[in-house]
Amino acid sequence: MSTTGSQPTAEIGVIGGSGFYSFLDDIEEVRVDTPYGPPSDPIAVGELAGRRVAFVPRHGRDHRFPPHRIPYRANMWALRSLGVRQVLAPSAVGSLTPDYGPGTLAVPDQLADRTSGRDQTYYDDGAAVHVSFSDPYCPTGRRTAVDAARAADWPPVDRGTLVVIEGPRFSTRAESQWFASQGWTLIGMTGHPEAVLARELALCYTNLCLVTDLDAGIEEGEGVTMQEVLRVFGENTGRLRTLVADVVKALPAERTCPCASALDGMKLPLELP
């Protein structure tokens, strides 16, 4: 169903990644325009256990946006304009350690940006805004996700550093070994700038990482392929969707985390939606 009249609202946003192109059953589709163009797809808004949820697949339903072309700013802006304040972001990631094999769930607590040339800020002009980003993820969202995964009998890796590469190619063995030597444990292509854009809008952001492969530097075979990523993701989709739903249900409605006050006292050059 498409909405043209009064716009529905949502409190929690879910950004689906590779293999995660839809989420809710009974939805209203909302076309939101933003100063950064349209989001990846119309936003699907619906209800889950009494919580209002907005869903957008970051690559589009047909996976037409490669990671370096995703309209990250439009996606996050559109979610906020619907009322969203907490964002859950499931992602397919590679592992940089043999300890975390395919099927592992990880909730990283750190991020290392190795992207280049992506639009990574809303504050380009008019005033300098520097948000704190030492802890890029929401502590409440992370704790809720870790607890929900444990309760679902899917014990997660409850920390770790996600390095985000520009892509769309996968890493060489040398690059991958270098990332691992830094102590970084997970690798993906979309966690940046998603996390920082959420912080720049004072949104909570939690990355739920499903390991689909061992990255090239630690793998003994042919290296990573897109087919392998999508196959392993497909094998784990059911429990990941259930977990996202569990986290939606368990997220505290009231925000007491630092993300909520990320912009307090700052003079912003634009009006947030």
Ligand X SMILES: Nc1ncnc2[nH]cnc12
Closest contact distance (angstroms) between CB of 191 and ligand LNRAV4D5 is 7
Beta carbons within 10 angstroms of residue 154's beta carbon: 17
Please state, in angstroms and rounded to a whole number, the distance separating the CA atoms of residues 118 and 99.
Answer: 31
Annotation says 215 is catalytic: yes
Single-letter residue type at 63:
H
Residue whose CB is nearest to ligand LNRAV4D5 in the complex, by number? 17
Residue 192 has φ and ψ, to the nearest 5°, of -125, 130
User: Interface with ligand X by CB under 6 A: which residues?
Assistant: 92-94, 165, 170, 187-189, 212-213, 215, 224, 229
Marked catalytic residue, from 33, 213, 246, 264 = 213
For ligand X, the closer CB: 88 or 96: 96
DSSP SS3 for 86: strand
68 marked ligand binding residue: no
Query: H or E stretch including 12?
Result: strand 12-16
Closest contact distance (angstroms) between CB of 157 and ligand LNRAV4D5 is 17
Closest contact distance (angstroms) between CB of 15 and ligand X is 15
Marked catalytic residue, from 33, 109, 125, 215 = 215
For ligand LNRAV4D5, the closer CB: 59 or 255: 59
User: Interface with ligand LNRAV4D5 by CB under 6 A: which residues?
Assistant: 17-18, 58-59, 67, 91-92, 188-190, 226, 229-230
For ligand LNRAV4D5, the closer CB: 54 or 165: 165
Please state, in angstroms and rounded to a whole number, the distance separating the CA atoms of residues 31 and 94.
Answer: 33
- Which is nearest to 269 in space by CA: 129, 81, 74, 131? 129
56 neighbors 44 (Cβ within 8 angstroms): yes
64 marked ligand binding residue: no
58 binds, among ligand X, ligand LNRAV4D5, none (CB under 5 to 8 A by kind): ligand LNRAV4D5
59 marked ligand binding residue: yes
Annotation says 26 is catalytic: no
What is the dihedral sign for C-alpha 134, 140, 145, 148? positive
Single-letter residue type at 211:
V
Please state, in angstroms and rounded to a whole number, the distance separating the CA atoms of residues 100 and 186.
Answer: 9
Q: Which residues are annotated as a binding site for substrate?
A: 189, 213-215
